[in-house]
Structure 1
Amino acid sequence: MLRLASRAFAFRPASRLPLAAARKLHSVPPRQDKPGSHSRTDSEVEFEYPAEHELPSSKPVSGAGGQYVKPTLPSFTLDGKVGVVTGGARGLGLVIGQGMVYSGADLALVDMNKDEAEKQAKLIVDAFVKENPNAQRIPKVTAHYADVADADSVEKCIAEIIQQHGKIDNLVTSAGFTENFEAVNYPIDRLRKLWAVNVDGTYLFATSVARHLMERKSPGSMVMIGSMSGSIVNVPQPQAPYNASKAGVRHLAASLAVEWAHAGIRVNCLSPGYMLTALTQKILDENPELKQKWVSLIPQGKMGLPQDLMGPVAFLLSDASSYVTGADIRVDGGYTVT
């Protein structure tokens, strides 16, 4: 899927790529109605992940509700837990982190842009206080820098989080991005960067947190943010390397779930469909025909919202899912079952 989210894929014309066609795409051209054409990728769709300064800032979700505003099963709580979210300064990662806080957890937001992470950490706490004026405990939310593809940077970040929070119980790996180019025109250096963030970054954070949990002899739960693209082929945009990377994340979660089951560490994959983040909205406003293509293939007839991931993540991190490990939960409006 194109999950325009935290550190995750924006669209931009790719005319400056050496192997890409020297054209600038402002909208998806109409496709000729030929047999099978609507189920194929379109070489005219080319989008490149933007530079950090071009990514829009996200906002915490308002009106999400306070801590225990409504009665629910006690097993869904994250009280007393410390969670880590990579790619947590924007988009899906930010909203997922906010959902963890509203479920009782303390939170460490990890991102390449630490300034943005610090800003969002404060906004999450402010939102919590505003909606929970009588709360007996204010959650601790911290911001941390990490290059998820660099082992030393990951280890330094994990050590900093443990120093500030005392422990880590839960991990959500939301850092990732995609680009859209024909495979024959995708420069190998960009492919390696994509895999380094999407796959290596997921692996490095998961193994580092697992070592910490094993040293503590403590159970824990991890959610790897995959994508419906790890199970299907998106159309019309070509994105073979991204799809393969998310298939890797999905199977990595299953494999580590088996390997770490003896230690009480659960690992699951959450695979979103097309999610309407602020960044996605901006791009689709400029490419309405692309949005029409996507929505036409979703049985629910609409794109998902970032807050649609709050509940599934809270479930997978909490004791409510204590017998769930190695699973892939798709949040895609039914896209992958048609």
Structure 2
Amino acid sequence: MTSEIGRKIMEYIGEEFFTTDEKEKIPALCQNNPKNVTLLVIRETIAPFINRSNSPDESVTFTMPDERRVIHVPARKFKSKEKIFGIKMLRYLGMIDSGYRYNELTLNTQMRNATSILMGDGVVKKSSEQKEDGIFVPARALYSDVYSIRDSEYITDKLTNNALNEMGTMYSRETGTTRSSFFFTEFVVPGVFFPALITLKDPTPELLLHLFVSLRGTAYGASTAITGPNFRNHVIGIVGSRVEPPVTSYSVSLKHPPDNPSTINFDWLKGMILGDVSSSGTDGMKIVPEENVKALVDYVKSLDRQSLMEAYRVLNNDIEAFFTYSYPGKKAGSKISKGSKTKENNEPKMPEGDDSGNISS
């Protein structure tokens, strides 16, 4: 079964890259066919982006063979934020168990949602009411680490900060000495472009829709509770194939060092990414025409809550079939942990609100 939105998505990309029907009693999400849809994305910083790991005052970097010291963003820094945003959108649509907590799942029933299927999930913390063994679902959306094109010298800056609890003086009467509460934060400046590719394995069109919705997130990196939105994601291309393209953010950065390291152009980078994918020789590859990509992105942005709910109901049916087939011993009617409420048929209760709202910004 396919939703009206799903049919529209396949019209733009091509039906041959999606699985929609049960085959030999195997549900669509269980078939593992050689079908891939890859989104080509340019991630643009629109505010300071703090990309740190072990060191509190240095960005994560990587030295290329040509000696460029580029910014290196581990895949989890984007995927985790997009997983969280996807969960928020499912709550908005009423399509997720109310007991779901990010990285704190206690019941198998909480995994029966689009984000868990898309990004991967597992029961990591058992409740006192959980009698059965936990289960884990592998991710269908494949992310790779992201690398900048330009050297970090040209795209980072440092800010001097003072301690939040500073009392106004740094002189200690007890010791008769002065102390310093200053520390530095390095950040990626606005206006930096990162090439990225995300591949979705053997998708239904409704699952691809949820990936598009998840990419609507705008806050990444450290200190987002303070800094707020700092990224804009541009889907600049879509590729259907039997095998995912052997192109990554690293390979794009390695192959195309900028002539002028002080700046690069968005259209230049877009051309480099599309060119690399086109020349990759991937099996059964089809690059979706640019006008179709733009039309599809605009179409998804225009969808209101009621339209999205129709597509997500179809996706939820596919997800139920996936769990019933893959984990026949794990019943959908398992007890819900304290504080979580669902209908008897396990369909999440819809939140109150105006059905005319949309997700476009």
Q: TM-score band, normalised by the shorter chain?
A: under 0.3
| Structure holding more helix per residue | 1
Q: Determine which structure has the larger strand proportion and give its number.
A: 2
With normalisation by structure 2, the TM-score equals: 0.26
Q: TM-score, normalised by structure 1?
A: 0.27
